[in-house]
Amino acid sequence: VAGRYQAREGFGGEDDLNLIEQLKVSGEVFTPIWVAEASGDIFEILAGERRWRCAKLAGIDSVPVIIFDIPPDSIDAAGLGAIENLQRKDLNSIEEAKLFQTLINDFGLTHQTVADSYLPGKKGRTVVSSRLRLLNLSSEIQKWILENKLSGKHGEQLLRLNDLVKRKAFAREAIKRKWNVKALDNAITAHLDPTVETPDLPTLRHLEKKFSSILGVSVKIKTGRSGCTLMANAPTLGALEDVFEAFSKEVV
């Protein structure tokens, strides 16, 4: 049976359809599913529910399993599923947020403990906290992130808006116009501070290419409240000296 701590909500996508076709050809599942005994002959899935679901749809009636001698409602069971999903990068931002929320609410873990256990590294605590903040978005916006119409980074930008109506309006506009995160950032910044000029992205990209061609290095232009910033990414100090020479000769 499906596990109670399954974090992944999106099944039936293109990846799943591809896996079903692969299983129809091979006729078997090669990677074992992790399970724990729930009661009698009932086993609860800890990790591998996607493979189990796709195997059934492919007409396969048995799959290999590894049985873990742990209660299916324990922190160990939830943790095994979390590790498998996070290592495989099988979750989107909302699914990760709900997984972290379960570990915190059901088992009393702190943000730092979750980060140390499942996202080791300097940015682990930041990731956990930023994911959990996404759960403050409306259910509709969360659904759009689950459907990959918006990314978690889009969601973080939307949280800058306290007005829930405006938040939803900007989310719809981002989907309609296929805005990347930077475009949404610019639009929200212009809304929050009308004195900041919204950059013309085609002109911005044209200028970046023009400067890159003249200076011989990758150039990015950032806009903000203090104006425009030109950033030249020189691979070596020698290349940086060439950039200086280009400016000193008044090529630009």
Of 44, 49, 96, 156, the catalytic one is 49
Q: Are strands 218-224 and 42-47 parallel, antiparallel or unpaired?
A: unpaired
Half-sphere exposure of 46 (CA within 13 A, CB side): 26
The secondary element (H helix, E strand) that includes residue 118 is: helix 111-118
Q: 1 with 65: CB under 8 angstroms?
A: no
Q: Please confirm, yes or no, whether 147 is among the known catalytic residues.
A: no
Q: 167 with 137: CB under 8 angstroms?
A: yes
d(CA 38, CA 233): 57
Q: 225 with 193: CB under 8 angstroms?
A: yes
Q: What are the helix (H) ranges across 121-199?
A: 124-133, 139-146, 152-158, 164-177, 181-192
DSSP assignment of 46-115: EE-HHHHHHHHHTT-----EEEE-S-TTSHHHHHHHHHHHHHTT---HHHHHHHHHHHHHHH---HHHHH
Q: Hey, which residues are catalytic here?
A: 49
